[in-house]
């Protein structure tokens, strides 16, 4: 009996209603799909068209093999159960293998559990590998880099971005090509992926000799980030919130008056009459076109916040409801979030909805001179994250919900391209696999202004880069509960700002205390603003230090441009863990308090209060020069560096 066959350049196995297909997806990349009682689908959730490559396929009666580049997959049949399992190799080295039936245990590595009404709950398992390290997976608010032994929710939340791609220390990358809500557990004995609702199994395996080669293979399969525009290389000024036109312009004028470098200034949320109106409130912003023009003349680009929520009171709500452009609740009230007023999210998975929202934003923002958008609430942030209760154009939130931020970015990216922008890059609060090709610059969400949160952001940025999202930033100083007049927060702000200089994008933002009450001319109270959040808002001691790092970032502009270009053409993230830049060195496998900014600078941020010295591990094979003191250190040792409040340890990598 023949179980294996070829279809085009794919290897196919069939038995007992299951169809398993392995397809080349470019050099060193294989896509694996399986379905039960149906035909294999080609859902391009994250993948782009495969690059051309040579492929070798062998289909025997009870064995199959497919090879592309240095990557191969061998499919073998279990003699008892006639069940096929897959093992992936780079040459003769085993990379990853599905779990076997284990004789009398009758286990299945691909389990399709039927759901009433159709589709399946899907579980896929792989053998655990001794000594393996797992990096990437997106952004989780944990002080962790190596996810081996961890369990992660595959779902988005405010400050959590599930990007299900990881790089293994064994020399391969793995993409769970499924936008369903679910969970993954990287256990010692096995790795288990679970999707709450799915039509088929779909994953991608890539391989490479180094993490950089793996990143390249992954970006080739899912798309490269656009070139970072010049405005992304410098400093971005923001706060919650500049609530009127003159206030925003005065801040920009003050930066110029003081001779401080600034590339972007941000008009935050609730500058609109109602959520979902997608326009400036004329009472507070009477002439946005003149505002954008004056900023442009100062060399500053204006960024404007857009929310996907459409309030029930919005001028656009009745039409969007009638045309089916909103997310739909399966049960109860048609409300997705209650903040200021009741609202429902627009359905970014619906191409008609994306076109509708972009058309409003084009007329009311783009045509008035706005060139960057802050696409907030991109998860989207449901009031209770009851994923079972929402349905999109593409399917239930349980089945496709994680693709929402990618589609949100896509709508604006495509609209801006049509308007003539060559490389659109917009700020989002979330991402999924493939978001990078739509110019998604992700920030780490509404985090607290605390030292423990600061430490988590370093890990978050490194994990996002390893997961294929190179453009990343954070609210310098944290978002919630920062008081500029308190000494303990000023220390945190200084340390965070110094680190922000060595992030892909340097962006100052936060809801500073105490609040500023805001009223309309008729006395009606509207959403409040926060206290000042400019570099001169933090006292006489902080200001010269913050100013120093503003100019340091400006000095780094040519270098930042260089490493941004590398991300664009190679998929290599600007912000890299030590294990990513120096693979194979076990002493660096879980180092999470220092990292590489590009291949040249080792950055060792101060992540705890009151620290005046810290140890820095210097990898061997090169020498290291302290950029502040000029002192040169041999590699292959741990050194203790002085860290007064005026400096963050940064060492330049020199040739041996």
Active site residues: 376, 379, 446
CB 622 within 8 A of CB 656: yes
Task: Give the orientation angle of helix 539-555 with respect to helix 487-500, to 10 degrees.
Answer: 0
Residue 457 is given by DSSP the state H
Helix (H) or strand (E) segment spanning residue 96: strand 93-97
**DSSP labels for 362-406?**
HHHTGGGT--EEEE-S-S---SS--GGGEEETTEEHHHHGGGHHH
Both tokens of 21, joined, read 């297909």
Rounded Cα distance, 76 and 97, in Å = 11
Cα-based torsion angle of the residue sequence 417, 421, 423, 429 in order, rounded to the nearest 10 degrees: -70
Residues ≥6 apart with Cβ < 8 Å to 110: 18, 20, 34, 98, 122, 123, 124, 201
Both tokens of 453, joined, read 């949160």
CB 484 within 8 A of CB 496: no
127: exposed, middle or buried (Cβ count in 10 Å: 0-12, 13-18, 19+): middle
E-only strand ranges, 132-283: 134-139, 151-154, 161-168, 172-176, 182-186, 190-198, 201-207, 235-237, 264-267
Total Cβ atoms within 10 A of residue 532:
14
The answer to whether the Cα torsion of 80, 84, 90, 94 is positive or negative is negative
Both tokens of 281, joined, read 């409130």
Total Cβ atoms within 10 A of residue 34:
22
Both tokens of 133, joined, read 């390290």
Question: Tokens 């679910």 label which residue?
Answer: 182
Rounded Cα distance, 359 and 320, in Å = 13
Looking only at the bridges linking them, the beta strands covering 426-428 and 440-443 are: parallel
Both tokens of 61, joined, read 């009666």
Rounded Cα distance, 375 and 351, in Å = 17
Both tokens of 378, joined, read 């991109």
CB 238 within 8 A of CB 509: yes
Helix (H, G, I), strand (E, B) or coil at 29: strand
Both tokens of 167, joined, read 């790089």
Beta bridge partners of 126: 98, 191
């Amino acid at each position: 009996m023949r179980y294996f066959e070829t279809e085009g350049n794919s290897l196919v196995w069939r038995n007992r209603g299951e169809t398993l297909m392995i397809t080349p997806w470019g050099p060193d990349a294989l896509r694996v799909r399986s379905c039960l009682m149906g035909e294999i689908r080609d859902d391009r959730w994250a993948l782009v068209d495969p690059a051309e490559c040579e492929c070798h396929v062998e289909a025997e009666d009870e064995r199959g093999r497919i090879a592309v580049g240095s990557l191969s997959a061998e499919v073998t049949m279990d003699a008892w159960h006639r069940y096929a399992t897959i093992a992936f190799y780079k040459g003769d080295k085993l990379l990853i293998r599905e779990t076997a039936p284990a004789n009398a245990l009758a286990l299945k590595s691909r389990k399709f559990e039927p759901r009433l009404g159709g589709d399946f709950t899907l579980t896929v398992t792989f053998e655990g590998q001794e000594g393996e390290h797992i990096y990437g997976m997106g952004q989780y608010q944990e002080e962790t880099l190596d996810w081996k032994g961890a369990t992660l929710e595959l779902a988005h939340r405010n400050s959590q971005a599930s990007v299900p791609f990881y790089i293994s220390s064994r020399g391969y990358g793995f993409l769970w090509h499924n936008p369903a809500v679910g969970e993954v557990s990287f256990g010692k004995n096995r790795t288990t992926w679970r999707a709450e609702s799915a039509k088929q199994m779909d994953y991608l395996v890539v391989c490479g000799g180094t993490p950089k080669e793996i990143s390249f293979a992954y970006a080739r399969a899912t798309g490269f980030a656009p070139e970072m525009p010049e405005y992304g290389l410098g400093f971005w000024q923001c706060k919650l919130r500049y609530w009127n036109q003159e206030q925003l312009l005065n801040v920009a004028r003050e930066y110029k008056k003081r001779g401080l470098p600034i590339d972007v200034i941000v008009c935050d949320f609730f500058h609109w009459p109602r959520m979902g109106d997608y326009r400036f409130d004329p009472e507070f912003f009477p002439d946005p076109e003149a505002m954008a023009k004056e900023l442009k003349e100062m060399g500053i680009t204006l960024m404007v916040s857009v929310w996907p929520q459409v309030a029930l009171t919005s001028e656009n709500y009745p039409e969007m409801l009638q045309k089916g452009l909103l997310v739909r609740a399966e049960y109860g009230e048609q409300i997705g979030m209650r903040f200021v007023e009741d609202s429902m999210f627009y359905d970014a998975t619906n191409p008609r909805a994306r076109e509708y929202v972009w058309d409003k934003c084009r007329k009311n923002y783009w045509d008035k001179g706005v060139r960057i958008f802050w696409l907030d609430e991109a998860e989207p942030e449901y009031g209770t994250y009851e994923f079972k209760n929402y349905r999109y154009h593409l399917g239930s939130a349980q089945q496709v919900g994680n693709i929402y931020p990618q589609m949100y970015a896509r709508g604006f990216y495509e609209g801006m391209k049509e308007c003539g922008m060559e490389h659109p890059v917009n700020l989002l609060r979330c991402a999924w696999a493939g978001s990078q090709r739509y110019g998604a610059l992700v920030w780490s969400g509404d985090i607290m202004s605390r030292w423990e949160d600061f430490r988590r952001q370093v890990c978050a940025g490194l994990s996002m880069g390893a997961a294929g999202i190179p453009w990343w930033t954070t609210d310098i100083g944290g978002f919630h509960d920062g008081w500029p007049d308190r000494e303990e927060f000023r220390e945190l702000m200084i340390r965070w700002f110094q680190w922000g200089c060595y992030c892909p994008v340097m962006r100052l933002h936060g809801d500073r205390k105490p609040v500023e009450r805001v009223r309309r001319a008729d006395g009606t109270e509207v959403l409040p603003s926060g206290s000042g959040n400019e570099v001169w808002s933090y006292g006489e001691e902080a200001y010269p230090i913050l100013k120093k790092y503003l100019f340091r970032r400006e000095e780094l502009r040519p270098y930042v441009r260089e490493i941004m270009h590398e991300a664009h053409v190679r998929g290599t993230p600007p912000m890299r863990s030590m294990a990513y830049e120096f693979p194979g060195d076990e002493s660096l496998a879980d180092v999470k308090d220092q990292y590489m900014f590009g291949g040249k600078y080792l950055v060792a941020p101060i992540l705890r209060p009151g620290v005046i010295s810290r140890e820095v591990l210097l990898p061997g094979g090169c020498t290291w020069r302290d950029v502040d003191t000029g002192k040169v250190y041999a590699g292959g040792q741990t050194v203790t560096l002085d860290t007064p409040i005026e400096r963050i340890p940064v060492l330049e990598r020199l040739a041996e």
